[in-house]
Structure 1
C-alpha cells in the first residue's frame, strides 16, 4: 500500500512538472509578410530568450512559467519593439507576430555600435530631464558607483570634472553621437564649453573600465557615450527656468516641429546659465544653442546637428591654502610671508573666509567659444545590415586673461628698461594665452547579423585631424620695453592625426552563453613644436611622434537562470602622452605611452521589483604616468612613467521597490589603488638640486578606498516625487605618497530633490521642482593639489583645496506644450 501511494505521488509530481514545462513556437514577419531573421525574443520579468531563424521561425522549449498568461517581447534593430500577450491556447496553434520598421530611429543603431552591451560595469541614464537644474553633466552622474565630481567654483556650475575609480577626466573617453569630444592634445573634456548639454540628451552610457572600442582617445578609467535627442514624432515646445543660491539662473527654450509629412524634422534649443559661484568672484556667464534637422526616408535617415557653447568664467583655479581652510591666522601670515604676498593679497587671504579666491583682477577670466557640427547618415540594407557614416567639425577659440605682478621681462623676450641710472628687469602686466583650434574628421560603422544568425558583427572606425594654434599676447605692461600691444611672446602650432578601425563580434553559442570579441587598431601621428638639443643648446624644433596601438578585448555572458547572470571581460588599452609631456621634454627623456589590462567579473541577480549587481575589477597599468616632482632636462615638472601600478576593487549596486510608492537604491565601492614603487623629488633651495625619497606600495592620488551612496524615491501622493541621496567619499591623497598630511578628508553630503507634476488644460506638462543640495551643510573639499620644497633646513608643504558650497538650493518651473 505504501509503495502504491509513493508511486501515485511521483506520477503526480511528474505530471505537474510536465504541465509547467511549456513549449512555444511561432513566426515573426515584416509588414510585407516576409519572415524576419535574428529577432530577439524575451519574456517580461524572465530571462528566457531566443532568436528567430532564417525564415523568421522560433521555438522556445521547456519553459517554466507559473502564470496562465505571459508577455513576449520582440526586438530587432531598425524595428519598433513588439509585444504579444500569450496564453495556453497559443501552445497548440503557435503565434504570428508582425514587426514594423522605425526608420527615424536608425540613428540609435550607430550609437549602439560604440556602446558596451549592458553589463555589470555600465550604467545607462535617460532620466536627465527631472534632474537638470543647471549643473554640468558630471554632477548629474553623482549617483553612479565609483564616481567623484569636482567643481572649481564650488556649486557645480563653471569648471567641473569627474573621476571614475580614481581616474581623472583626461583618461575618460567621451563621445557625442559617436563623435570624439576629448581635446586631442590634453585629452581633457571641458564641460563648461557645452553648457546645458543635458537639455538635449536622450540618454547616456557610463562604462566603467576600458569598455568597448570607441572613437577618440583611449579609455583608461571609463567611457561616456552621449546620445542627443531622438527625432520627435510630435511637435513640441518647452520653457524651463531654474533659479537659486549664488544668484544662479538657468533659462532654456526648446521647440521642435515633429515629423512633417513623415519626412522632415527640425529641433532647436537656446540656453543661458549665470551664477556668481560659491567662491568669491567665481562667476559664470554661459550660453549655448542646439539645432538639429533630419530627413527620414524609407531606409535612410540623414541628420544634421549644430551645437555651440560660449563661456566667460572668472578663474578659480588657484585653490585655497590649507591655512585659510582651517582659519589659522598665524599659519596664514606665515604662508603670506613665504610666498611674498603684498599687502592687498595678504588682506584678501586674511579676510575672505572659506570662499577665498586668490584672483582679484576684475577681468581674470576664461573666455572661450566652441562650435560643434555633425552630419549623420544612417542606412538600412536588406537582410538587417546597417551603414552609419558621420562627418564632424569642431571650432574652438578663446583665451584666459591674467594680471601678473613682477614678471621678468626676459620671460617675454623683452629687453630691460633703462630709466636714468636704474635698470628695470621686471614689470606688472596683463597677458592673454590663446588657443585657436580646428578638429575635423569622419566616423563610420557597418553592423548586422551574420547568416548563421548567432553572430552579430560591427566593423567601424574613424579618422580625425586636429590643428591647434597656441599663442600668448601682452595686452598691457607697466614697463612695456619694446613691445607693442598684442605682441606674441610665444607662438606655436600642433597637428595631430588619428586613424582607428575596430571589429566587434557577439556570438550566441547557446541560448544562455554569449561570447564577444573586440579588436581595435589605432594610429596616432603628432606633429608639434617641441624642445630639443642642438649643438649643446636647447631650442624649439618641429618634431613628429607616431604611435601604433592594438587594443584587443574579449567578453563572456552566461545566463544561469531567469534571475541570474554572470559576466567576464578582459580588455587591453594603450594611450599616448599628452601635449605637455611632449612639449616640455626632449626626445631622449620623453615619457613612454601607457598601457592598461582591465579584467572585470560580474554577477547580477534580478527579480521583478529588485536587483543586485556585484562587479569585481583589476586594472593593471604598465608605465602609468604620474607626477613625482622631478625636474626634467628642460626644467619642467613633467610626468614620469611608473612601471607597475594597479586598481582593484569591488562594486556593489542594488535597488528594490518596497511598495508601489517607495523604492530604495544604493552603490558601494571598495578598492585598493597602488603603485609598486616610485621616487619622489623635492626641490632643495638650501643646497640646490632635488632631494629624493623612495616610496613603496603607496596609494594612487585621488583614489578613495571606500565610496558609496544610498537613497530612496518616495511618491507619497499622486504626481509628487521625493528623491533622497546621501553620498560618502573616503580619504583621497593629493599626491602618490600616501601622506595623510597631503590629503582630502573623507566627506559626506546629502541632496534632496522634489518634483511635482501639475495637470491643466493649457499645457502638456507643467513641472515644479526644488533641489536641496548638501542639506546638512557639510563643509568639505573634493579636489586639490600639493607641492613641497626644502628651505631653511625644513621641508615645507603647501596644500591647496577647492571648498564646496554648504547648504544651497535651486527652484525650477518647466512648462511643456
Structure 2
C-alpha cells in the first residue's frame, strides 16, 4: 500500500478489495470519482495505488473506460502496448496465451497483483493470463508501476508491478448488458448488475460473461466463462466488510510450438512465397467413416482458478486503521501435449503435405501395436499435464498517522501453497494403451488405458486435485511452499516534499514431493526419499524514495532499492530431482531511478531514467527440440547470470481542445548480460546431455543483448502516438501508431558455449490500430446504448512478434569440406549454394529460425446497454 503522500489524507472504500489512493485534502465522504480512476475503488487496505506528484515511482494508469472502448478481442495485457517499456504479445496465439515484458523483464519477474493480492505462481513466478481472462470484465483500473513500485509487500518486482483493481460491491445502482462479435467467430456476451448500498449498509455486485470462437491462428477454438460476485456490509463508520469471488474457467486449443519461417512459407495455401501467418503445426486431421476430415489439436490448455477474498477495514481511531485480507485461490487444470513413439517415430514423422499431423497414419500405426509391459512408450499418445494448486493467504496492514507530516505502517503477508503436477492420458490416438516405466514404486512397468478428456476434467476448486496413482505417467511431483513476511514503512509529507523508507523480510520454505521416487533411490550420488523436507530461504528488501514539487507544474522524484530475492523452486531442486542445489544463493537486485514530471491544464509529460542490476540469476529453458542432435527434446539450466538493464522513458498527453487529444510515449533501453554464466543441458527424462564433452560448460554471455526465454522476445525500443477525436458529443474516434524496435529473440544456452556469439535481432515493425465508440442516450440520462468498433493492425502488416531461436545467417566458417561417394564439396561451394538460395532467407534472417508472426488485420464490434 502506498500511504499518505499528501499533507492530509483520505481513506475511502473503493473497489471490493484493498487499494490505497491518497489525496491532498480530506473530504467527509466514503466514495469518490477521481480523474485517475473512473470507477469507485477501495482506498483503504493493502493495495498500493500510486498518486501523481506524490508517489516517487514511474507509473501509468489505464482506466476502465479505456478497457471497455479499446480492448475488443485483444488480450487484456495488449492494451498496455502504449505504455513505456511494456511489450505485450499474443504468445503462441491461443486464447489467453499472451506474454508481457516490462523494462526487459518477463512476467516471472513482474509482480502481478489483483486487489493487492500477489498472483505470481509461488513455485516458479509464472502468470498465465488464460487463468485471468475475466479480468477484462471486472477490472476498474489497471496500474503499471515500472521498476521498484510502491508495494510494501516483500515481493521482488524486478521489472515492475501490474495491479488490477476490480469492481466494487458498493458501486452505484445499475447494470449493463453487452454483446460483442468479431473475426473468426468471436462472440462475447455479458451481464452485470449492482444493487447500490442500502440504508443498513449492504451492497452487492455480480457479473456473468461467456466468450467463444477461435483466434486468427488455425485450429485455436476456445470457450471461456466469467463469474463475479461481491457482497459488502458496512455496519458502522468503523467497520467495512467486503467479500468477493471471481473465476474464468476456460479451455482453448493452442499453438505451443513456433514453426520455422521456411515452413510458414512452404505451407502457405496460396504458394506465393509469403508466410502464412495463421499456420499452426500443433494439430492435424482425422478422416471420419463418412469421409469428412475433422481437426484434432495436439496442444491445448484448460483451467479454472477461482479467487475468494474477504476484506475487513477497521477504523480504530481518527489516526489508526487496520486492514485485513484473507484469500483463497484453488486452481484446477493443465495442458496437453504428446508423448511416446510408435515404431520409433514421433509426431514430427507424421506430417502431411499441408504441414499438419496425419492422424489417419498415427491411428493406423498405433492400432498395429499391442502395448506390453516390457516396452516403455511403445505408442504415440496425447497426455494431459495437470498443474493444479491450493493457495491460502492473509494480509494485514496497520497504519498510524503520527501528525500532519509523519505516519508509519507495519504489516504481514503470509501464504501457504501446494501444487500438484502429474500427467495422465488425454487421447490414445487409436492405441489400446500406453506403457510407462517412470513410477519406480511399481514392480513392473505400468500399462495405462484410461484417458481424461481435457474439456471434461473436474474444475471444482473444493474437490480433489488428484487422479489415481495408477493412471499417472511420465512424472508425478508436488511442490509445497510456505511464505512468511513482515513489512514496515515510514513516510514524511508536506505540500512540497513526500518521502518514504520501506523494508521487508521474508522466509520462503520449499519442499519437493516426488511420488515416482522409490525411497533410497540414488540421485547425483545421494539417497533420496519421496519428500525432500523443507528448505528455508531468507530474503529481504529495502527501498526509499522522495518526490519534490518544485511548483504547481514541475516535480522531480528519485527512488533506490535493494532486493535479496529467493530463487524459484527449479533453482532449489534443479534437474527435476530431489537433491538440493549445493550452490544455492539468493538473487540480488539493485535498482535506482530518477524522474521528472510536468503538468499543465492541457499538457502532461513524464520522463524517467533507470538502471537495474540483477545478479545470481537462475532460469530453466524448457521445450528445446533435438537438444542432443538425436531427435530428443529437453531443457537447459543456466546459473550465475548477471543482467544490466538501463533506459529512458517518456510519456505525454496533449489536449488541444475538447475535440482533439494526443497521447504519446517513447522508451529506449540497453539490456545486456554482464560476465559469463554456467549452463547444463538435460533430456526431458532428466538425463544429462554433454556439451563439448561435459554436461556443464561456460556460457560466454558478457555484453550479449538480453533476449527472452521460451518463445518470448524482448524489444529495447518502443514508441507510440495516439489521437482521439470527439467531433460531436458522445462520439469518439481514436487511433494508435505503435513502433517496436531493437527486438532480440529468445536465447538457447547451448549456442553460447563459444566466444563471439551474439543475440539475434529481429526486424523492427510498425502497427496502426483504430476504433470508434458512440453513445445513444435515452430520455433517462442513466440509460444509454454504446456502439463500439475496433480494427487492429489496420494495414495488415506482416511482422515477427516473437522469436524462439538464435540462428544467424551462416558464413563460410560454418561449413567444412565433406566427401560423399568420392566427390568432395568444399566449404566455399556449400556456402555459395546456401547463400544463393533465396528460400534460405527472410528479411535478412535465416529462414530456419522458429518464430511467431503477429496477427494480421482483426476486428470486433460491440453493443452495450447501460441502465
TM-score (norm. length: structure 2): 0.74
2:531 is the alignment partner of 1:542: yes
What is aligned with 2:615? 622
Alignment map for 1:501-520 (pairs within 5 Å): 501-508=486-493, 511-520=495-504
Contact kept, 8 Å, 2:189 with 2:210, in 1: the verdict is yes
3-state SS in 2 of match to 1:110: coil
Indicate conservation of the 8 Å contact 1:720/1:756, yes or no: yes
Deviation at 1:791, TM superposition (A): 11
Deviation at 1:580, TM superposition (A): 3.3
2:242 — aligned with what?
A: 303
1:801 matched residue in structure 2: 851
- Once the two structures are superposed, the pairs formed by residues 570-609 of structure 1 within 5 Å of their partners are 570-581=560-571, 582-584=573-575, 586-588=579-581, 592-609=585-602
Match of 1:3 in 2: none
The alpha-carbon distance between structure 1 residues 423 and 651, as it changes in their structure 2 partners (threshold 3 A), is closer
2:674 matched to 1:676?
Answer: yes
Cα distance in 1 for partners of 2:376, 2:502 equals 63
Equivalent-residue separation in structure 2 for 1:218 and 1:372 (angstroms): 22
Instruction: Mark the CA change 1:687 to 1:611 in structure 2 (over 3 Å): closer, same or farther.
Output: closer
Are 2:773 and 1:755 aligned?
yes
Q: Is the 8 A contact 1:322 1:801 kept in 2?
A: yes
Q: Are 1:519 and 1:553, in contact at CA under 8 Å, matched by a contact in 2?
A: yes
Pick aligned residue for 1:480 from 409, 414, 434: 434
Shift of 1:229: 1.4
Alpha-carbon distance in 1 for matches of 2:528, 2:395: 38
The superposition leaves residues 767-811 of structure 1 with CA deviations (integer Å, 9 ceiling, x where unpaired) of 110111011111112223126799999999953212221111110
Match of residue 214, structure 2, among 239, 258, 276: 276
- Residues 1:708 and 1:540: Cα distance change in structure 2 (over 3 Å): farther
Report deviation, 1:314: 0.3
Measured in 2, the distance between the counterparts of 1:454 and 1:565 equals 19
Q: Where do residues 51-62 of structure 1 align in structure 2 (5 Å cutoff)?
A: 51=8
The whole-number CA distance in structure 2 between the counterparts of 1:696 and 1:574 is 23
Supply the distance in 2 between the matched residues of 1:112 and 1:536 (Cα, whole angstroms). Answer: 47
Residue of 397, 404, 410 corresponding to 2:332: 397
Aligned-pair CA distance for 1:107: 3.3
1:601: Cα distance to partner?
Answer: 0.2
Q: Deviations over 1:473-517 (max 9, x none)?
A: 235345534513342123222210111111112202x54222210
Q: Give the drift of 1:458.
A: 2.2
**CA distance, structure 1, for counterparts of residue 545 and residue 699 of structure 2:** 42
| Cα distance in 1, alignment partners of residues 575 and 225 from structure 2 | 35
- Residue 466 in structure 1 maps to residue 454 in structure 2: no
CA distance in 1, matches of 2:591, 2:149: 9
What is aligned with 1:237? Answer: 175
Q: Which residue of 1 aligns with 2:277?
A: 354
Matched, 1:259 2:201: no
1:774 and 2:764 are equivalent in the alignment: no
Alignment of structure 1 residues 200-219 onto 2, 5 Å: 200-215=138-153, 217-219=155-157
Distance change (3 Å), C-alpha of 1:439 and 1:512 = same
Q: Is the alpha carbon distance of 1:324 and 1:539 closer, same or farther for their aligned partners in structure 2, counting shifts above 3 Å?
A: farther
SS in 1 for 2:849: strand
Q: Which has the larger strand fraction? A: 1
Distance 1:619 1:484, change over 3 A: same
Residues 406 and 491, structure 2, Cα contact 8 Å, conserved in 1? yes
The residue matched to 2:779 in structure 1 has which SS? coil
* CA positional deviation for 1:433: 1.3
Q: 1:70-85 alignment to 2 at 5 Å?
A: 76-78=10-12
* 1:158 matched residue in structure 2: 96
How far does residue 660 in structure 1 lie from its aligned partner after superposition? 2.0
The Cα of 1:407 is off from its aligned counterpart by: 6.6
CA gap of 1:698–1:472, structure 2 versus 1, over 3 A, is same
Say if 1:804 and 1:760 are closer, same or farther in 2 by CA, change over 3 A.
Answer: same
Distance in 2 (alpha carbons) for counterparts of 1:661 and 1:739: 52
Do the aligned residues in 1 keep the contact of 2:639 with 2:679 (CA within 8 Å)?
no
> 2:647·2:669 contact (CA, 8 Å) conserved in 1?
yes
**CA 1:159–1:419 in structure 2 vs 1: closer, same or farther (change >3 Å)?**
closer
Are the aligned partners of 1:374 and 1:391 in contact in 2 as well (CA < 8 Å)?
A: yes
2:679 equivalent to 1:742:
no
Q: How does 1:101-180 map to 2 (within 5 A)?
A: 101-102=29-30, 107-113=42-48, 118-119=55-56, 121-127=58-64, 128-154=67-93, 157-180=95-118
Instruction: Provide closer, same or farther for how the CA distance between residues 152 and 648 of structure 1 changes in structure 2, counting only shifts above 3 A.
Output: closer
Higher Cα Rg: structure 1 or 2?
1
SS at match of 1:468: strand
Equivalent residue number for residue 641 of structure 1: 639
Deviates more, 1:271-280 or 1:468-477: 468-477
> Which residue in the other structure is 1:65 paired with?
none
Q: Write the distance in 1 (CA, Å) between the matches of 2:336 and 2:69.
A: 37
- Taking a change above 3 Å as real, the CA distance of residues 678 and 328 of structure 1, as seen in their structure-2 partners, is farther
Q: CA deviation at 1:687?
A: 7.7
Distance 2:245 2:210 in 1: 17
CA distance in 1, matches of 2:642, 2:806: 23
Shift of 1:115: 5.2
Partner of 2:308: 373
* Residues 164-219 of structure 1 deviation map (CA, whole Å, 9 limit, x = unaligned): 11110111111112211111112111121122312211212211012223547521
Change (3 A) 1:307 1:234: same
**Cα distance in 2, alignment partners of residues 357 and 317 from structure 1:** 9
Find the aligned partners of 1:782 and 1:271 in 2 and give their Cα distance.
Answer: 30
In 1, the alpha carbon distance for the partners of 2:4 and 2:282 equals 61
The correspondence of residues 62-73 of structure 1 with structure 2, limited to 5 A, is none
Q: CA separation of 1:267/1:79 partners in 2, compared to 1, >3 Å: closer, same or farther? A: closer
Q: 1:354: how far off?
A: 2.4
Q: Please give the secondary structure, in 2, of the residue aligned with 1:698.
A: coil
Closer, same or farther: CA 399–666 of 1 in aligned 2, 3 Å: same
* Cα displacement (A) at 1:154: 3.6
For structure 2, the 5+ residue unaligned runs are 15-24, 33-39, 285-295, 347-368, 436-445, 451-470, 682-688, 708-712, 809-813, 819-826, 832-845
SS in 1 for 2:108: helix
CA distance in 2, matches of 1:760, 1:353: 47
Instruction: Give deviations 1:127-161, integer Å, cap 9, x for gaps.
Output: 33323424332012221111111213548x42112
Bigger relative contact order (CA 8 A; separation at least 6): 2
- Aligned residue in 1 for 2:741: 730
Cα distance per residue 1:30-51 (max 9 Å; x no partner): xxxxxxxx999xxxxxxxx855
- The structure-2 alpha-carbon separation of the partners of 1:555 and 1:426, relative to structure 1 and needing over 3 Å to count, comes to same
- Helix, strand or coil for the counterpart of 2:262? helix
Give the Cα–Cα distance (whole angstroms) in 1 for the partners of residues 476 and 26 of structure 2.
64
Report the Cα offset of residue 118 of structure 1. 3.8
Give CA-to-partner distance per residue, 1:553-602, whole Å, 9 cap, x none.
01011111121101000012233333333352643456533221110100
- Alpha-carbon spacing, 1:470–1:50, altered in 2? closer, same or farther (3 Å): closer
TM-fit CA distance, 1:304: 0.7
More deviation in 562-571 or 780-789?
780-789
Q: CA deviation at 1:661?
A: 1.0
The CA distance in 2 between the partners of 1:791 and 1:469, in whole Å, is 47
Deviation of the 1:224 alpha carbon: 1.3
